[in-house]
Structure 1
Amino acid sequence: MSAPAPGQLTVPDWLTRSITAAHPAEAAAWLADLPALVTAQLTRLDLTLDRVLDPGGSLSLVAYAHRNDDLTPAVLKVSLRTPETAHEPEALTAWAGRGAVLLLDAHRTPTSGVLLLERLHGEIPLRSLAEPKAMLEATSLLHRLWLPLPLTAPHALPTTPPTAPPVPTAAVPEAAPLLTEARDTATALAASATERFLLHGDFHHGNVLAADRAPWLAIAPRPLIGERAYDLARLALDRADTLIGSPGAPAAVRRRLHRLAEALDVDRDRLRGWTLVRAVDLALAALAANRRPEAELYLEFAGAL
């Protein structure tokens, strides 16, 4: 099967909505050029398109393909270049397949990043396991991904916290004290950090997939440099709806943080602080995308801390 004509490639509605909400200034032009870009990359890499994944990524078109020379399956990922996606190739190169999906090829255009990746079992995320088993597998994998870096060595990746977003107290006036606390906490934690690691940046059960060469491998990093508690905080927020919906939610939240901190030898107070920050960040992102129930869930989680 040859590469599809640009007009034949369908961009998932989810990608159109999510990228328009997150990056309205760039979205229309990038989405219009996307079919032609994907077709060109299939030709450049000598690939045949199998199917576009729907929904795929929130900032990326993700497609199953195979090499024409040996029929090896692969994944083609084409992303809008943003602060979240810009450094994915560097992280995947540093990991070299150790705990993460293997990078086969990387190419940049002025507005896009193109990655060719090994194909994992996209239909089997770590979220498919029961929570206790999923958390055990996740902590083991996360420990492998953290690469220590010298405290003073320069690095092109962003550091934590990337930039504190404005606090839209008008949108959720009742949460204004919580939002202010999160902003102040992020500033204090960043100033007092005593370690520097390469972090995944968006590590949760949905970004870990079953694989052939390892039981589980991480995908879709939004890499940055910082302390381990920042990365672990995103995992602490996984399945927040289940935890908040359980009896005695604040106690359940504290138990989860204690178990995660103990499992990975991370300071529990710093984990609590970064979890507050990241819960508020997720809430603000959900508000920006008009997903108010999701925003309220993360604010409730933050309040439980």
Structure 2
Amino acid sequence: MDSAARPDAGGPFEPPRRLVRALAETHGDAGGEWLRALPELVRDTVSRWELEPERVLTPGGRSSLVVLVRRADGTPAALKLLAPGARGAHEHAALARWDGWGAVRMLAAAEGALLLERLRHEVSLSSLPEAKAQLEAADTVRKLWVDPGEDHPFESVAERSRRAAEALRAARTQPWAEAVAPLIDEALDTREELTASAAERAVLLHGRFRQGKVLSAERVPWLTVGPRPVVGERAYDLARLVRDRLEDLVASPGGAAAARRRVTKLADSLEVDRDRVRGWTRFRATCAGVRALGAGRRQEGELLLEFATWP
């Protein structure tokens, strides 16, 4: 195996391109500094935990590097190194709270690093037929909705969505956003209504739950990975799931109706208010679409904003 795939080999080491692009967009110089230090960071962490690296997982994520490894006793595992600002402590706390229930099991943790049980990263719910995938996704996300515990470190849905709303307001002043200003205003109004009226008991949420975040596993069929944990109402956690397989939805002549059916099925199966699922879906899709437009990803942004008008 070549040195690019074996980060302990002492030769050139290239992180996945997706990670490099994402950090350049979101972290700027700080992301570049972390990437330059990454080979040494991998070697130090591997040595400290007595791990044998196998390969870097590609295409990987947008805020972390995952290296498939084996522990000293030969047990397969996955080493996850988190970029600065990736809220690794919060992911650590959420995984500890779930303790393997519906989520990948954490084997060890240090600042900026997590050692996780090995899952079948090449097989996610996205590989299943749509109806089956949504059933399994609903069953998985239900397990994650637990009490966050006293003195938990997680931010609230109100806090996270407030930052997203501030970014929307800032984007609205840009010339490129003029055409989507009405959609931004509607999303901001929707967020105000949702945060002002939330009544159900707040639970621990995954934060960015979708089919691609649920992987095949050994001890149970499916486990979720990569949370960005937050505490709040369950409807928030379904918003990203509703827009899974977006390109297929948009390409379908019945895409809008299919999106509405998704909202209904998910809300009914999980006993969550349909209107609140619909509202958070619109808000989060608008935020993602405007963010993509601002980053120059025009096609992605237009798809997301078209979707935001459907549910």
Give TM-score scaled by structure 2 length: 0.91
Determine helix, strand or coil for the equivalent of 2:231.
strand
Residues 2-151 of structure 1: pairs in structure 2 closer than 5 A: 4=8, 7-68=11-72, 70-82=73-85, 85-108=88-111, 113-149=112-148
Determine helix, strand or coil for the equivalent of 1:304.
coil
Aligned partners of 2:272 and 2:44: how far apart in 1? 45
Q: Structure 1, residues 57-115: CA drift from partner, whole Å, max 9, x if none?
A: 111011101012x111000000113255441101100000000000001111xxxx100
Determine helix, strand or coil for the equivalent of 1:175.
helix
Determine helix, strand or coil for the equivalent of 1:37.
helix
The aligned residue for residue 156 of structure 2 is 159
Residues 234-253 of structure 1: pairs in structure 2 closer than 5 A: 234-253=240-259
Determine helix, strand or coil for the equivalent of 2:110.
strand
Aligned partners of 1:277 and 1:84: how far apart in 2? 23
Q: 1:89 to 1:22 in 2, by over 3 A?
A: same
Long gaps (5+) in structure 2: none
Aligned partners of 1:27 and 1:148: how far apart in 2? 34
Q: CA RMSD in A?
A: 1.8
How far 1:149 sits from its partner (Å)? 4.9
Q: 1:85 to 1:166 in 2, by over 3 A?
A: farther
Aligned partners of 1:201 and 1:14: how far apart in 2? 21
Aligned partners of 1:248 and 1:5: how far apart in 2? 52
Q: Which sits farther off after the overlay, 75-84 or 207-216? A: 75-84
Residues 218-257 of structure 1: pairs in structure 2 closer than 5 A: 218-257=224-263
Task: Tell me the matched-pair count.
Answer: 298
How far 1:251 sits from its partner (Å)? 2.0
Q: Do residues 196 (structure 1) and 224 (structure 2) align?
A: no
Aligned partners of 2:87 and 2:245: how far apart in 1? 22
Report if aligned partners of 1:3, 1:43 keep a CA contact under 8 Å in 2.
no
Q: 1:159 to 1:6 in 2, by over 3 A?
A: farther
Instruction: Give the partner amino acid of 1:121.
Output: R
How far 1:155 sits from its partner (Å)? 3.2
Q: Do residues 183 (structure 1) and 188 (structure 2) align?
A: yes
Aligned partners of 1:83 and 1:39: how far apart in 2? 20
The aligned residue for residue 211 of structure 1 is 217
How far 1:223 sits from its partner (Å)? 0.4
How far 1:249 sits from its partner (Å)? 2.6
Report if aligned partners of 2:64, 2:83 keep a CA contact under 8 Å in 1.
yes
Aligned partners of 2:155 and 2:11: how far apart in 1? 37
How far 1:191 sits from its partner (Å)? 2.2
Q: 1:179 to 1:84 in 2, by over 3 A?
A: farther
Aligned partners of 2:289 and 2:216: how far apart in 1? 29
Determine helix, strand or coil for the equivalent of 1:203.
coil
How far 1:131 sits from its partner (Å)? 0.4
Aligned partners of 2:152 and 2:71: how far apart in 1? 34
Determine helix, strand or coil for the equivalent of 1:115.
strand
How far 1:254 sits from its partner (Å)? 1.4
Q: 1 or 2, which has the higher helix percentage?
A: 2
Q: Percent identity?
A: 46
Aligned partners of 1:159 and 1:211: how far apart in 2? 30
How far 1:185 sits from its partner (Å)? 1.4
Report if aligned partners of 1:3, 1:47 keep a CA contact under 8 Å in 2.
no
Q: Which sits farther off after the overlay, 19-28 or 227-236? A: 19-28
